[in-house]
Structure 1
Amino acid sequence: MAELLIGTASWSHPSWQGVFYPPGTPASDYLAHYAREFRTVEVDSTYYAPPTPRMVDAWRARTPEGFLLSAKVPGMITHERRLVDCDAELDAFLTTMRRLGPRLGCLLLQFPYFKKQEFPTLDAFLDRLVPFLQRLPTDLRFAVEVRNRQWLQPPLFEVLRARSVALALIDHPYMPSAGEYLRFPGIVTADFLYVRWLGDRYRIEEITQSWDRLVVDRQAETARWIEALRALMPRVQRVLAYYNNHYAGCAFASVRQFLQAWALASEARPGVAPHR
């Protein structure tokens, strides 16, 4: 039966001090405290700058055996150079991330919404993506996130499946809903799922700038995602899923809400037991 690991995007939010982290907890102890409740986290900081070996070693030292850290591939590779002339930077990043050993979860290639002047068609994007994917080591897990809804087509699925790369399923204004993802027969492209609950960043920032409590009711969406995951999980070995603060106002509270809803759904329909 598939393993379900749920966590948050990042763990170093100042707003969590005194709410998730006990008052007075030093930032250097955040990850160790986080890992007492959850078994996975998505590292966001790697998008902005590659981590140093010392940083990665610290992540490993502060988490227990069985904990998984996923991480974004640096934006310099995915956004600035768009997969071109970045071999040295990619190799250096992968070498550093390998220091996590068995704690390395998945590396996410997060792409923005591309305008037509950047990639006029899906084929144009795939012409750039395919040779890049062919360079990736096969012993690591990778996921690809696109935000062009019209690109969710068989050619993309086939390219990812050929390299056992997961298509990231995201809850985002540009992309399908949980139920709509199920209508794509080729949506599962690897032996694991990678799910990201992102939400509408601009809308929620009009409501709050402090990420210490839920401010948007997402219970209906959560129920639909639970149904979607239950439908897809028999086809994979593991699910890595992460909540962003922008989804409902507080990522760790969203995880807890999901786990409560999952437990209730599982009582009604026994199946997969989640691992935080």
Structure 2
Amino acid sequence: MGTVTRVGISGWRYPRWRGTFYPVGLPQRDELGYAAARLGTIELNGSFYSLQRPSSYQQWAAQTPEDFVLAVKGGRFVTHLKKLVDVQVPLANFFASGVLALGRRLGPVLWQLPPTLPYDPDRLAAFFALLPRTTARAAELAAQHDARLDGRAWTTTDADRPLHHALEVRGAGYVEPGFVELLRAHDIALVVADSAGRWPQLFDVTSDVVYVRLHGHAELYASGYPRTLLEEWAARVRAWSAGETDVGGPLVASHAPRAPHGREVYVYFDNDAKVHAPFDAMSLAAMLRDGPPGAAAQ
């Protein structure tokens, strides 16, 4: 496990960004490439709303640099409609829809639970047991897709690579030590979410991957992050990347062991409504490149 740190955005196709982040006249088909040239990662969220096609994943891969990472948001059919129950075939369909066509660009898979889903450790444990932890196992699962994907399924991988999963929760019932320990037992990253106080903000490290979603500090999906707050997040990211677990945020369980070789950290800005996300992401990435305040003078 390396100490890779990537900062990016959740989605990229927003009309309000045209003429602000995206130059006037930039064709829509070139927006992903434009964003990818300025960021380290992007979260694919169309996959949350519906099964995409392999051709789309192929196009997204072709429009991004070879070392770029695309996180993929798991389908709401699994999380919101099926509520994680009886989901082996829906999971097979999700992975057969083309996720593996991203090849080396495939990053963590994000699963977002609805606020109405109560904490149920048995339900979560059964779901975690179904999740493939390598791309080879994901390909095996994809081959179990149902007839809806006949003729359009992608069930192969170009190489066998680790596959990481992250879970974002939105209910107060998850603020309990048993939940954190369950995630650690299954090596699932607990999403650190900043949501203007709407949902729990938990800083427990539960995997060698740390996954952060910044939805807006003062106003959900809308407010930007001033430099002082970005510096706080930069300090946390540096600590996580170095393998630390004490990042100055609220914990619901004991600290995870320090990772001597560091952790991978992914940060996604989802405050898109007023076009703050791409600029906040670039600012945070620059802070991380430049080092902590005063570092250059030492």
Q: Which TM-score band applies after superposition, normalised by the shorter structure?
A: 0.7 to 0.9
TM-score in terms of structure 1 length:
0.81
Asked if 1:259 corresponds to 2:261, the answer is no
Q: CA RMSD in A?
A: 2.4
Alignment match, 2:229: 221
- Paired residue type of 2:52: P
- Report the count of equivalent residues: 247
CA contact (8 A) 1:199 1:247 kept: no
Report SS of the residue matched to 2:207: coil
Shift of the 204–228 alpha-carbon distance from structure 1 to 2, 3 Å rule, reads closer
Q: Report the CA distance between 1:32 and its aligned residue.
A: 1.4
Alignment match, 1:138: 133
Distance (whole Å) between structure 2 residues aligned to residue 8 and residue 44 of structure 1: 10
Asked if 1:174 corresponds to 2:176, the answer is no
Distance (whole Å) between structure 1 residues aligned to residue 3 and residue 133 of structure 2: 21
Alignment match, 1:88: 89
Asked if 1:101 corresponds to 2:109, the answer is no
Alignment match, 1:184: none
Describe the superposition over 1:60-103 as per-residue Cα deviations: whole angstroms up to 9, x where unpaired.
11111110100110111111110112221211211321111110
1:193 to 201, 205, 210: 210
Q: Report the CA distance between 1:248 and its aligned residue.
A: 6.9
Q: Report the CA distance between 1:13 and its aligned residue.
A: 1.0
Q: Report the CA distance between 1:238 and its aligned residue.
A: 1.1
Structure number with higher relative contact order (C-alpha < 8 Å, ≥ 6 residues apart) = 1
Alignment match, 2:186: 163
Report SS of the residue matched to 1:134: helix
Report SS of the residue matched to 1:266: coil
Shift of the 11–264 alpha-carbon distance from structure 1 to 2, 3 Å rule, reads same
Shift of the 162–247 alpha-carbon distance from structure 1 to 2, 3 Å rule, reads farther
Asked if 1:13 corresponds to 2:14, the answer is yes
Distance (whole Å) between structure 2 residues aligned to residue 54 and residue 88 of structure 1: 21
Distance (whole Å) between structure 1 residues aligned to residue 192 and residue 178 of structure 2: 17
Report SS of the residue matched to 1:91: helix
Distance (whole Å) between structure 1 residues aligned to residue 165 and residue 289 of structure 2: 29
Describe the superposition over 1:251-275 as per-residue Cα deviations: whole angstroms up to 9, x where unpaired.
10111232344456525248xxxxx
Alignment match, 1:4: 5
5+ residue gaps, structure 1, are: 182-186, 209-214, 271-276
Report SS of the residue matched to 1:37: coil
TM-score in terms of structure 2 length:
0.75
5+ residue gaps, structure 2, are: 135-162, 244-261
Distance (whole Å) between structure 2 residues aligned to residue 261 and residue 149 of structure 1: 33
Q: Report the CA distance between 1:237 and its aligned residue.
A: 2.8
Report SS of the residue matched to 2:267: strand
CA contact (8 A) 1:199 1:248 kept: no
Describe the superposition over 1:154-199 as per-residue Cα deviations: whole angstroms up to 9, x where unpaired.
322222222221111110113456xx73xxxxx2111111000012
CA contact (8 A) 1:70 1:106 kept: yes
- Calculate percent identity across the aligned residue pairs: 30
Asked if 1:79 corresponds to 2:103, the answer is no
Alignment match, 1:274: none
